[in-house]
Structure formats: structure tokens, C-alpha cells
Amino acid sequence: MQNKIIIGMRFSKILSVIIGGLILCLLIVGCQQQSENLKQRPNVVFILVDDLGLVDLGITGSTYYETPNIDKLAKEGMVFTQGYAASRVCSPSRASIMTGKFTARHGITDWIGAASGTAWRSHNRHDKLLPAEYVHSLPKNDVTIAEAMKKEGYKTFFAGKWHLGSEGSYPEDHGFEINKGGWDKGSPMGGYFSPWDNPVLPNKIDGENLTMRLGIETADFIKQHKDSTFFAFLSFYAVHGPIQTTQEKWNKYRNKAESLGIVENGYKMERVLPIRQVQDNPIYAGLVESMDDAVGVVLQALKDSGLEDNTIVIFTSDNGGVASGDSFSTSNLPLRGGKGYQWEGGIREPYFIKVPWLKNGGSQSDFPVIGTDFYPTILDFANIDALSEQHIDGISLKPILEGKKMDVVRPLFWHYPHYGNQGGNPSSIIREENWKLIHYWEDGSDELYDLATDAGEQSNVITQYPDIAKKLSKKLHGWLKEVGANMPSKDLEYNAELAQKRHNRIVNESWPALEAERLKFLSKDFKPNEDWWGSKVTQD
């Protein structure tokens, strides 16, 4: 009996060893298969530029700015001619890229830090409304695109502007394993040349260009992780103000402006502020070129690492070019408006996607797309299951990129219940097919544009097409109610007389001052300071 027990115990141990060995083999095979599947997945490099207008690139129509690296990237991929940011300002647009949700749904409807409610009165603008309250950090309960990629084994990297919350809501708190320069500030504190003021991007060399540094950090990450699968998000502070450049680049573009012909007047009056009509700012042009130089470094790193053929590259901007307010940097013509505005110049963007193995370089799509579409598109190409409840306001663009027809008619929504720095009005927008309706919260009025024939939004056709306006208005207000959108309120202290006095100062003082400043930037003896914003300082 005892021998039987001993034999049984030995058999049990042998069986346990065999089963354990089988389980180990299965685990090894499973890990190897998972590793192999991950290797077969594409890398993704997402390039987001701050405040870059649709026509701020050579490929999109600028004859003044020079962007050869971005132009080449666009020609190697697909250009979406009807590409939109999810907001007219930065933080809401960026949150929509990260979450796949429209701004009214995730709640970040203004740039984080902007005054709202009664605090808005401190600007002494004497506006009719008090801007709505809004969410001040990326919601923790949202699964960001970085978190989704990280969960599937992707190495995640972020460089540059974040502006989606203060400490505790930085890139590393939302799925990015490495963070180079992303914190709560939305502009390059300390300027574009080292020493800058950024606690998560140490200064190394006095005079170093911030934009190029971010490009180099991204390139270094690519080289160091060429044997893994990665999701790299390069989010430039450029071309946000304060605009700065080197003397050499300024000189190049000043001379170019002169050769193209310097016009006497560069502005006209929009509803609230003067707005730039020409692209001839040599400082901004130099800043744009520096950004393009940095893009070139990243693309070269992909090539040198042998990753060019297995890396999806996405390029876009977070809102329109700054034509009013801030630095009055560029013109978005023939589109109306710019950053902060409700018209196309505020929300239409460069929108390029390069999927190298599809061989669709030089192709275009006029299907209306928006920032929320990036999330499901990336998941689709990475063979990651869709998170439909998360990226609820986006669709995968993979069929279009593969040359298939997209038989989808969907409304796109924007909600900005705020006043911006640039002259835009509190309003909400719906676009469906080629129709765009804008609802203004100050007086409840609407504008209707047919973008197929009037991309510059010069003709409000609401009286010609009342049925279309009524249908779109119903959809817009129904959607805002559905998502619980925050709304502005009347300012009971509004003073029309003071508002008119402010407007008169803008017309009679600010406008002429802007014209004088523009010509000053183009004068042969222009010099901002002794060392050109610190760009001349170097050290070993």
C-alpha cells in the first residue's frame, strides 16, 4: 500500500512537471507570438503644430513661407483638403485628439487658463456675455490614445506643448511613458532660445533652438527604440507667439518680402479686431522654417533607422493661424478669420496622413475630417480593437486611405461659448455635407454658408435656404442638449457705451499701430534686441 502511495506521488510530481512545462511552453509561444504581432504593427509618429494656418505651407498655397520637409511628407501621403481641428483654440482641440470626443462632450471648451464667468470682466472688454465655465484638465476617466497604445505594448513618447492640465495631469499621467517638455503652459515660456523656462526640458546649450531641440529629442527616441514598436507624439510650441527667429532667417524673409513686393497696408478691420491680409512677417516666416527644419530631423531619423516603410506619420495643427490678436502673425486668406474665429480660417487645418505601404502619395480626399478621427484611425491601422464608447465622435479613415469611397454623411460639431483673444464670438457650429451653420450666443442669430461655392464665407445664404438652416439648427441644438454643453450667460453689467469706446480705440489707435509695426519688422535696420532673442549666444 505504501509503495502504491509513493508511486502515485511520484507520478503526480511527474505529471505536474509535464503540465508545468506545457504551460511554460504555451506562455513562451504566446509571448513570442505577441512580440511578433507587435513587431508587425506599424510605428506611429504624430506631429502637431501649434497655431499653424491652413495656407502656412508651400504645399497648401503659401508663396512666402518655405516648408520643403512638410511639403515632401504631404506628397508622400494623403492630403485631406477638408481637414478640421476640433476647436478654434488649442486646449480643446488637443483634448479632442487625445480622447476622440468633441469639445462639448469632454468639457474643455476653452484654452486652459482663460478667464470665465465674472472673472472675464477683468479684461475690461465690456462684452455682452460672461463666458461659460469649462473643464480645466484632461478627464481621468477618458482613455487617451496614448493609454490605448501603451496597453497594447507600444512604447509611448511625448515632446513639446501639452496644455491639458497642471501637475497631476501631465503627459505621463495620461499614458505617455516619456515626457520631454510637456507641462501646463501653452506658450514657450522664456522664448524659443535657451535658456527657456520649462521644468521638464532642461537647458543644455545657451542659444539652442527650442523647436529643433524637440525635433532632436523625438529623433533620439526613434533611434533608441528602433527595435520596439512606438507611438511618438511631437507637439511643437511653434508657431505660437511670442514669435522669434534668428537674424539670418529674418534677413532671408525680409529680402523675400521685398522681392515679392511690400504692400502699403497689411490689415483690414474685421468685426472686432484688425485682421492680417498678407503673409509678409519675416519673424514668423523664420519660425515656420525652423519648425520645418525640425520635422526634417524627425523624418531623417526614421529613414536612418530603417523605419520609414513601417511608420505612419500624421501632420496637423490645433487651430487656425494667428491673424488677429496675440502676435497677428499670418494671413489665412482665402479663408476668413483665423485662430479664435468661428469661420474656416479658425478651424480648417493642414491634415496629412502618410501610410507608406499604401503607395497613395500625392492623393487627395475632400471628405470632411476632423481631429477626433485620428484616434480610431490609428487603432485601426495598429490592429487594435476599436474603443467605440471612447472615440465616439471619430471614425476610422482607413478606408479612404486605402482608396475606398466613404459613404458616410455625418454632422461635425464645434462649441465655443467664450470670447477669445483674437476677435471671435461665442458661437456653436454644425457642418453637414457642404453646409455650415453658425449660431451666435450674443443675439441668437445664425449664419449659413455653402462651402462648396463659398469657402471664404462671404455670402450668408440663410434667407435663400431657410429649410436647410432650420434643419441644421435643430440638429445643432439637439446635440448640444444631448451632451450637456455648458453655455455662456448674459452679463448684467454690460455697458454699450463703454463697449463702443473700446471699439473706437481699436479702430483709431490699435489698427494704425499694427500697420506701423508690420513695416518696422520689414525695415532694413530692424533689430529686436542685441542678441536676437538670445539666438546668438552659444557655449561649448
The Cβ of residue 38 has, within 10 Å, a number of other Cβ atoms equal to 15
For the packed helices 282-304 and 210-224, what is the interaxial angle rounded to 10 degrees? 10
Spacing of C-alpha 94 from chain mean position: 6
Give me the count of residues in the chain.
Answer: 540
CB 342 within 8 A of CB 360: no
Which of 319, 285, 523, 540 has the alpha carbon at shortest distance from 421? 319
CA dihedral 256, 259, 263, 264 (to 10 degrees): 100
Give the pLDDT confidence score for residue 407 in this predicted structure: 87
Give the pLDDT confidence score for residue 367 in this predicted structure: 97
pLDDT in tens, 2-30: 444 444 445 455 445 444 554 444 444 44
Spacing of C-alpha 159 from chain mean position: 13
Give the pLDDT confidence score for residue 48 in this predicted structure: 98
CB 341 within 8 A of CB 422: yes
Give the pLDDT confidence score for residue 40 in this predicted structure: 77
201: left (phi over 0), alpha (psi -120 to 50) or beta: beta
pLDDT-flagged residues of the chain (< 70): 1-39, 537-540
Give the pLDDT confidence score for residue 9 in this predicted structure: 43
CA 196 – CA 116 distance, rounded (Å):
29
**DSSP assignment of 221-278, as one string?**
HHHHTTTS-EEEEEE--TTSSSP---HHHHHHHHHHHHHH---S--EEE-SSSEEE--
Return contacts of 427-430, CB within 8 angstroms, 24+ apart.
427/342, 428/104, 428/476, 428/480, 428/485, 429/342, 429/347, 429/476, 430/472, 430/475, 430/476, 430/479
Give the pLDDT confidence score for residue 27 in this predicted structure: 45
CA 479 – CA 104 distance, rounded (Å):
9
Indicate whether this model's pTM tops 0.85. Answer: yes
Give the pLDDT confidence score for residue 532 in this predicted structure: 96
> Which residues, including other chains, have CB under 8 Å from residue 326's CB and lie 6 or more apart?
51, 241, 339, 421, 422
For the packed helices 68-76 and 282-304, what is the interaxial angle rounded to 10 degrees? 50
